[in-house]
């Protein structure tokens, strides 16, 4: 923050959401390198077999479920193909919470809200894809095959995943594939905008020189170097002082398809939000993840599991608030 003010550095070249991800108590602690978000990948060949057109970018949860049902197949009383792959890691299910109007926590991290009605309804919709509608494989059906392996192997028609899958799919997929934004819920289509960034260590012996390096790495030239690999989504939207370099970044990003609709990796950032982290976030996440274990196995509903863990998570939040009060 002090270096930004001293140099009058324009952080407006970055997507606002990724800047928010690197802020703590109002101060910016790093310059973003890239963006991580979620889209829906789909197997166009399987869609065509099921008589489905490409999903509309403004599709809804009802549309998503309809597609997933049409893509699910049974043979001899056993499911052999599913509409969508299923992840249990939080990055892949939090869009269902946000897009339904829910949250993990209140904005000031003083209250646990993942067990609130909107949050529970969103997460339960996701769980129901597996246990109610049977359009996502159960643990037994998936066996030792991971969510991405099932999609890559043509056993699931869709998967919610990140940009990092593009190089692998280009190299290994034996089918036509593309991407579309996450389906719209009651609150819209809201995915995460997280990523990695560049920061200066407090113990740096030469912070001024480190700042110059950071500006280069996070700037148009550094961003271009990382974007060329095809793995990341650049954190820079547009730099009015360097339009040539900005255009070069976009040119490097829009590599030969697939996917045909690469622009969605960028357009979804408009409404994306950072994962709701705080000082003891990982500790709370561990408790929540453990509590959701029976939910993923179909042994407990979302509301019951989250109500059980709520007191323990709220205790952490209360302690965080007390520590913050001491710092003021």
This prediction's pTM:
0.95
| Angle, CA of 95, 316 and 298, to the nearest 5° | 45
pLDDT average, residue stretch 11-24: 93
Asked if residues 214 and 15 have their Cβ atoms less than 8 Å apart, the reply is no
CB neighbourhood size of 142 (10 A) = 19
**Domain spans, the chain:** 2-33+193-270, 39-190
Judge whether residue 241 has pLDDT over 90.
no
Nearest residue to 22 via CA among 316, 275, 201, 234: 275
Class of domain 2-33+193-270: alpha beta
The residues pairing with 23 across neighbouring beta strands, listed in sequence order, are 28
C-alpha separations of 37 from 57, 194, 218, 233, 271 in Å: 16, 7, 19, 9, 11
pLDDT average, residue stretch 197-225: 95
Judge whether residue 239 has pLDDT over 80.
no
Judge whether residue 55 has pLDDT over 80.
yes
Fold entry, domain 39-190: D-Maltodextrin-Binding Protein; domain 2 (3.40.190)
E strands, the chain, are 23-24, 27-28, 31-32, 34-35, 39-43, 73-75, 78-84, 156-161, 177-180, 197-198, 233-234
Give the separation between CA 152 and CA 157, rounded to whole angstroms: 9
Asked if residues 163 and 253 have their Cβ atoms less than 8 Å apart, the reply is no
- Band (228; pLDDT cuts 50, 70, 90): confident
Question: Do the two domains 2-33+193-270 and 39-190 of this chain adopt the same fold?
Answer: yes
pLDDT average, residue stretch 274-290: 97
pLDDT recorded at residue 179: 98
pLDDT digits (tens, 9 = 90+) for 154-172: 999 999 999 999 999 999 9
> If 0-12 CB within 10 Å is exposed, 13-18 middle and 19+ buried, where does residue 147 land?
buried
Nearest residue to 37 via CA among 139, 238, 190, 246: 190
What percentage of the chain exceeds 70 in pLDDT? 100
Judge whether residue 11 has pLDDT over 90.
yes
Q: Which of 111-115, 131-135, 220-224, 279-283 has the least mean pLDDT?
A: 220-224
Asked if residues 119 and 303 have their Cβ atoms less than 8 Å apart, the reply is no
């Amino acid at each position: 923050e002090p270096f930004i003010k001293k140099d009058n550095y324009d952080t407006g070249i970055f997507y606002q959401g990724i800047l928010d991800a690197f802020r703590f108590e109002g101060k910016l602690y790093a310059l973003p390198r890239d963006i991580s978000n979620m889209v829906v990948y789909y197997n166009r060949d399987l869609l065509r077999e099921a008589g489905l057109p490409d999903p509309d970018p403004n599709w809804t949860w009802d549309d998503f479920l309809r597609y997933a049902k049409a893509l699910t197949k049974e043979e001899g009383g056993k499911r052999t193909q599913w509409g969508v792959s299923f992840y249990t890691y939080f990055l892949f299910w939090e869009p269902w919470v946000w897009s339904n109007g829910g949250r993990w926590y209140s904005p000031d991290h003083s209250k646990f809200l993942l067990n609130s009605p909107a949050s529970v309804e969103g997460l339960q919709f996701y769980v129901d894809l597996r246990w109610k509608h049977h359009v996502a494989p159960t643990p037994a059906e998936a066996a030792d095959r991971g969510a991405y392996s099932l999609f890559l192997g043509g056993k699931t028609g869709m998967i919610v995943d990140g940009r990092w899958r593009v190089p692998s799919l280009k190299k290994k997929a034996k089918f036509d594939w593309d991407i579309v934004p996450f389906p719209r819920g009651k609150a819209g289509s809201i995915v995460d905008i997280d990523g990695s960034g560049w920061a200066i260590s407090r113990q740096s012996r030469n912070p001024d020189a480190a700042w110059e390096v950071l500006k280069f790495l996070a700037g148009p030239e550094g961003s271009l170097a990382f974007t060329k690999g095809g793995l990341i989504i650049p954190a820079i939207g547009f730099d009015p002082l360097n339009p040539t370099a900005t255009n070069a970044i976009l040119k490097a990003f829009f590599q030969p398809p697939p996917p045909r609709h690469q622009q969605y990796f960028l357009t979804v950032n408009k409404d994306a939000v950072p994962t709701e982290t705080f000082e003891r976030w990982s500790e709370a996440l561990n408790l929540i993840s453990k509590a959701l274990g029976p939910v993923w196995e179909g042994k407990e509903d979302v509301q019951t599991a989250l109500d059980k863990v709520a007191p323990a998570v709220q205790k952490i939040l209360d302690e965080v608030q007390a520590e913050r009060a001491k710092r003021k």
